[in-house]
Structures are given as structure tokens and as C-alpha cells.
Structure 1
Amino acid sequence: MVATESMAPPRLGVEGAAIVVGGGAFVVCGVVALLSFWGRSLPIAGPGSVGQFAAIAAGIVGFLTYTAGRLWHRQGLTPFEASDGRGRGTAGRATGADIVDTFAIALAYGIVALLGWLVLGAVLADGFQDATVYFLSAAVLAGAVIGVTAYAVFASSAGMDLMRLSTLLAAFAVIGILTAMLSAPDPHWWMLHLSALGMTRSVSSLAFNLTLIIAGVIVTAIARYATDARGIEDPRRHAAVLRVRVGLILIGVLLACVGIFPLNVSQVLHNVSAVGMVLVFALVVFWVRAALPEAPRSFFVLGYVFFAAIVVALVFFVIGYYVLTAAELVAGVLVFSWLIVYLRVSGAAAPAVR
């Protein structure tokens, strides 16, 4: 029996630990929910609802569980298996940058869990109009939501790599922006521009600006882990990789600055950050071929097509065919989409680690 267990694939150990973490979260949070809900019937969504309780608790548990998943490997708070630039195993410990990146990713997981369950609760509330949930059932449901969240986040955290980070970045950006759109106090915000979502003192603006800031931090982490120049002997390729790294870091910083400086705070800094991000993206698209020559040709063509589409969208805005919101959405979606594809291609190009 001992020999059989020692020969089990490492992934089974991760799954076993994730089951324990998820089960523990289900029991603990279920008991807390039971004590909080005792004797009451709760609405599905809204203030004081089972959906609100489960979403907030899932957000907190998601953050803590991701951190625990990284510590489970006993390598410190490194975003990947080790901090050598692409997640390959090393004996090194976590650096300060590793810890910052890890907490940023953990926060993204927590926010995705929070907003995701809030949205699902709202959908269910629309499907079960005026329905309430008895306190015992509510406690079980809340415990199940939190247990599933803990299990999924721990399993993802313990095996985090560039591929999974690309999925997180996509989910985080989509959920954050959609939440801001759906909760905007002015339903006609789109008549102005996309940045109008971040100009009010509301939950919508908080979600919009926080999404941009955290996404920017994640992109700067991508720059370090997806552009490892060590071991590259060709000086031209080494320089190209470093250029791409600097470009990605600038994109991340400028993206965060778009959220840090909403239009109502500083129009100049906001616009410089937004335009600068698109300009740097254009440079990176043309630099990446020399930095990652092993990537498929379709990846390079995709970048050129995206760049051309952004130029066309901006021209349409200038001639009055597009409103500013449409041009911003096209540019933002294409830049994010390319970053996600680049992250996956870079991860696929990295040597597999076991």
C-alpha cells in the first residue's frame, strides 16, 4: 500500500489536498451560516440574502485558499512552481516581487469568486421570483458554494502556470467589466465612453477601476514569467525578449494607471495612459516575432490583424462612424485577447516540468 501511494501521480496529491480544503471550508462556513441564518427565511439575492452571504464568504475564502495553495508546496509565496521566470523548478525562495504577484493573483481569484457568485445569485433570483430559502437549506447552499470555491481555487493554485493564469486574466477582466456595466447608475453611460464607468462614486466605478488596477498588476507579473531571457545565447533574441518584457510591463503599468486616474480625477493622465497602452501594444506585436520565433505563424498573423483592426476602429471614430465607446471596446478587447493568447503560446513554448 505504501509503495502504491508513493508511486501515485503528483496530481492526485493535489486533488486529495483540494478535497480536504473544500470539505473543511464546507463544514466551517456551513456552521457559521447556520448560526447566522438561524430561524429566518432568506431571499436568494440582494441585501441580507443567502447569495450575498455566500458570495462575500467565497471571495474571502478564495483569497485565503489561493495563498494556502501556494504555501502547500513549501516554496514560499511564489506564483508558480518556483520563481525562475517560467515556473520551472528551482531551489530559490520567494522574492518580494513574487509575494506581491502572488497576493495580486490571490486577490483576483477572490474578486472573481465574489462577483461570479453575486451574478449567479441575481440570475437565480430572477428565475425564482419572490422565493425565499429556509435557514437550514440556506446554510447548506452557502456551505456548498464556499466549499466548491475553496476546492477549485486550491487545485488551481497548487498547479498554477501560465496557461491557468491566462484563464484567470480572461475571467477576471470579463466579470469585472460586466459587473461595472450592469451596476452602472446611469444606464446610458455608453453614450459617453467606456471610461464613464469609472467616474462616479458607486460600486460600479469601484468594480471598474479595481478591475483595471489588478489586471494591470497581473500583466506586469506576466511580463516577468512569460519573458524569461536566461539561457538565451543569441544576443539578438535576448535583446528582443527584454524589449517584449519592458513593453508588457509598460502595458500593465499603463492599464493600472487608467484605473488609478479616472477621467474625473485627471483627464490628462487617464488619456495618456490609455493611448500609451495601445501604442506600446503596437510595438510589442512587432517585437514578439524575434523574441518567440518558435511560436506558430498564426500567432504572429493574429497580432498583425488585431493591430490593423484597432487602427480601423480608431479611424471609424475619427470620421464619426463609431462612437468613442465602440472604439475603446474594440481596442480593449483586442489588446486583452492578444495578451491572453500570448500568455498561452509562451506557456506552451516553455519546457514541461514534472
Structure 2
Amino acid sequence: MAKKYQIEIPDSAFKKTDFSMNEELSLSVNHKQINIRPINVSDQLPKINIFWYVIPSIILAAIFLAFFSARKINTVPITGDDYSIANGALILGVCSGILSFLITFIITKILGKGPSKDFHWRSLPTITIACGLIITFSLSAIFWLFGQMFKDARFDIYTATAFIFVIIAAINYIMINLALTLSSGVITNLLTIMIIGGMLFSMLTNSKRDWWRYNFSFLGTAKNSTSLQFNITLIFTGLLMIALVDYLFVNIQRRYHGYKIQVLRWLLIMLAICIASIGLFPNNPEFHVLHDRISMWLVYIMLILIVVIRWVLPEVTKQFLVISYTIGAVMSIEYIVFKLTNYLSLTAFELFEFGLAFSWLLLLLQNIENLAQFGQNLFVVKLKPVKDDTN
């Protein structure tokens, strides 16, 4: 007969759940971890009332229809016009999505329900603007693609209104769900989507197809038609990273203390400030020297982080150290090859360095996120074998 075991958990841990006494729960084992949760999977998902996102969508779609009807516009193009589905979806979708996120976050924060209660109010503006920018970039990229696929396509105002309704409803649902499931992992994903999506969007839509012949920083200069999007991406990526670091280290300091944690925190904040400053001071003639120096400061801070990570990151694994030193060595070799030979162009060098640095930064944030999560929700439990009374 198989052995049975009993798990004893402290009362402080039980109070953090919504379980009731004698409730039947499900247990799963995943990656050598035991997870206990409600039997119904639906109980773990955020409850989003259909009216929360459908009613605002109906109202905004009605405004869209009334606007075009008042101007006696019978057919609406997908893109390429001031009065298009793309512009309508962009304006109404961004405004509606931001309001949906804000209202949901504020209500759950005030009521003390959901993950938003663990975030500071000072993080709300940065996260909200970042979400708005991601919606803007996503819709712009999607409609740019549709414009290439369906050139000169037009729809009657009722079909166009139906498209607007579906788009706004989808955006509202996503933003409400985002506010109800916000976490450090979600913010890391937002940061990744924002910086990569913003840069790809700027590469695809800029006016000079041969921008890569100059350098990576060219995307942020006045010579590029999409420089504003590129620079805003960098600025709010830095601000979003500061919000993420702030959230993580508030939680991590509940378990880990000392000056080493503060050194790691301020190095990451300085790194985020450099990222934002590169967007704030683009590589235009008036900012060229400052832009180059900030870029070098960013590289120096990255190298300092890689060197000191052994001492400032609690419970650092040997695997992460090997990855860190390998990436640091590759970045150094690339720098030497770039300086001493003509093998790498400036754009190729910058893209390689950015890819390696950003990959390592995501790994570091993931390690810190795990420490913060365990530091906040770590409890001592007892596992006891249960005696079989039938024997």
C-alpha cells in the first residue's frame, strides 16, 4: 500500500489564501514543487464581468458611427486617411484601454484585492503610459500590415463600426485582465515587448531603408521620421524598469538585508536611467557628446554588474555566474574586434551588444523576481507520514 503524508502549514500562510476549512483542494507536482489550488481551474482565473468591457465598447462604437454619419462618409478605408478605421481604432482604443486599466487598478488597489495592492501608487503613471504605448505600437503595426495586404480597401460605415467595436472590446478585456493579474513577471514582459516592439516598429516604418548603414542610434535622430517613437520607447523602457526594480526590491528586502542589496538596486536604477537618457538625448549634433558618454556609462554599468554579481545577488547560482561571465567575455571580445578590425560594422556591433546585454538583464531580473517572490511568500511547513490504522 502506498504511503500517505500530511502537510502542516502555518496560519499566516493559510490567511493569504481564499480557502475555507474542510474544502477539497487539488494537488499537483511540477518541477519538484508541490502546488495546492482549488479543484475548479476557473476559480483561479480573474472574474471579468462581460459588461465591464462590452458597454464601453458599444458607447465608443456608437460615437464612431455618429461621427462618420454626421460627416456623411459612407465608406471608410482601413488606413491611409485621416478618417480611417486605423485612426479610429488607435484614438478610441488607446483611450479606452488606458481608462479600463486605470479604473481596474485603482479600484482593486483601494479595496486591497488582487496583485495591484502590492504596487506603489508612484508606479501607476509609468505602467499606464507604457501600456498605452504598447497598444499604440501594436495597433500601428497591425494596421500597417493590413494596409500593405489590403491596399485601397474600404468598408461601409456599419462594417467599419463593427470592426471598431471588436477591437475596442478586445483591448478593454486585455487591459482589465492585465490590471487583475499584474505582477513582476508581467511588467518584465511589458518591458520586453515595449523595447523590442518599439524598435522593430521604428525600423519598419522609418523613412530611410538604409538606416543600418549609419548606426543603431540613427533611429533616434532627427533624420529618421519615426525618431519620436524610438526615443519615447527608450524613455519609458527606462522608467518601466525603475518601477519594476522598485517593486522587486521592496519585496526582496523583507528577507535579504544589507548594503549589497542596495548596491545591486542602485546599479540597476542607474542602468535604467541611462536607457531613458539615451532616448531623452538622441544622437543629434547638439547632444552627440552627451549621447555617446551616456552610452558608454551604460556599458560600464553593465560590465560592473557582471563582475560584482557574485557578491551582490543573494543565492546566486553557479549556472547564472557562468552565463554572466560568458556574456561579459563575448561582449569584451566583440568590442576588441570592432575597435581593431573592420570585420563588424558599427550597426552590427551595437545590435550584438544590445542583444547580449538585454538577454542578460532579463535573466538577472528573473533571478531577482524569484528571490522577491520566495522572500514574500516563503513559509515553513512540516511533512509528516500518516499512520495507517488498518494495519
Matches within 5 A, 1:112-191: 112-191=134-213
The question of 1:285 aligning with 2:316 is answered no
| 2:354 aligned partner | 332
The correspondence for 1:347, drawn from 369, 376, 381, is 369
Matches within 5 A, 1:1-354: 15-17=46-48, 19-38=50-69, 39-47=73-81, 48-75=83-110, 81-83=116-118, 94=120, 98-99=121-122, 101-200=123-222, 203-228=225-250, 230-232=253-255, 238-264=258-284, 265-318=286-339, 319-349=341-371, 350-351=373-374
Aligned length: 334
Verify the 8 A CA contact 2:104 2:176 in the aligned structure 1: yes
Q: 1:348 to 1:19 in 2, by over 3 A?
A: farther
**What's the CA shift string for 1:117-148, capped at 9, x where partnerless?**
11111212222232212211111111211111
Q: 1:308 to 1:57 in 2, by over 3 A?
A: farther
Q: 1:311 to 1:65 in 2, by over 3 A?
A: farther
Distance, in Å, in 2 between the alignment partners of 1:191 and 1:77 is: 53
Q: 1:224 to 1:233 in 2, by over 3 A?
A: closer
Q: What code does the residue aligned with 2:97 have? A: G
**What's the CA shift string for 1:278-316, capped at 9, x where partnerless?**
111122223333343435443333322222232232223
Q: Displacement, 1:220?
A: 1.5
- Runs of 5+ consecutive residues of structure 1 not aligned to the other structure: 88-93
Verify the 8 A CA contact 2:230 2:279 in the aligned structure 1: yes
Q: Displacement, 1:23?
A: 1.4
Greater C-alpha Rg: 2
**Worse-matched range after superposition: 344-353 or 107-116:** 344-353
Q: Which secondary structure does the structure 1 equivalent of 2:56 belong to?
A: helix
Q: Displacement, 1:165?
A: 0.7
Q: 1:224 to 1:175 in 2, by over 3 A?
A: same
Q: Displacement, 1:175?
A: 1.4
Distance, in Å, in 2 between the alignment partners of 1:28 and 1:278 is: 49
Verify the 8 A CA contact 2:208 2:224 in the aligned structure 1: no
Q: 1:267 to 1:202 in 2, by over 3 A?
A: closer
Distance, in Å, in 1 between the alignment partners of 2:111 and 2:144 is: 38
Q: What code does the residue aligned with 1:299 have? A: F
Verify the 8 A CA contact 2:215 2:347 in the aligned structure 1: yes
- Runs of 5+ consecutive residues of structure 2 not aligned to the other structure: 1-17, 21-37, 379-391
Q: Displacement, 1:233?
A: 6.0
Q: What code does the residue aligned with 1:53 have? A: G
Verify the 8 A CA contact 2:221 2:282 in the aligned structure 1: yes
Q: Displacement, 1:37?
A: 3.1
Q: Matched residues, percent identical?
A: 22
Q: Which secondary structure does the structure 1 equivalent of 2:342 belong to?
A: coil
Q: 1:63 to 1:312 in 2, by over 3 A?
A: farther
Q: What code does the residue aligned with 2:65 have? A: L
| Bigger strand share | 2
Distance, in Å, in 1 between the alignment partners of 2:318 and 2:104 is: 36
Q: Which secondary structure does the structure 2 equivalent of 1:133 belong to?
A: strand
Q: 1:167 to 1:77 in 2, by over 3 A?
A: farther
Q: Displacement, 1:214?
A: 0.6
Q: Which secondary structure does the structure 2 equivalent of 1:227 belong to?
A: helix
**What's the CA shift string for 1:32-87, capped at 9, x where partnerless?**
2212233421111223320221123222223222222211213399995335xxx6
Q: What code does the residue aligned with 1:267 have? A: H
Distance, in Å, in 2 between the alignment partners of 1:202 and 1:33 is: 33
Verify the 8 A CA contact 1:18 1:154 in the aligned structure 2: no
Q: Which secondary structure does the structure 1 equivalent of 2:296 belong to?
A: helix
| 1:91 aligned partner | none
| 2:31 aligned partner | none
Q: 1:6 to 1:292 in 2, by over 3 A?
A: closer
Distance, in Å, in 2 between the alignment partners of 1:27 and 1:197 is: 39
Q: Which secondary structure does the structure 1 equivalent of 2:110 belong to?
A: coil
Q: What code does the residue aligned with 1:188 have? A: D
Q: 1:79 to 1:197 in 2, by over 3 A?
A: farther
Verify the 8 A CA contact 1:46 1:52 in the aligned structure 2: no
Q: What code does the residue aligned with 1:303 have? A: S
Q: What code does the residue aligned with 2:46 have? A: E
**What's the CA shift string for 1:152-191, capped at 9, x where partnerless?**
1111122211110111001111111112112222221111
**What's the CA shift string for 1:243-287, capped at 9, x where partnerless?**
110111101111111111112131121011111111111222233
Q: Displacement, 1:223?
A: 2.2
Q: What code does the residue aligned with 1:134 have? A: D
Q: 1:325 to 1:274 in 2, by over 3 A?
A: same
Q: 1:76 to 1:203 in 2, by over 3 A?
A: farther
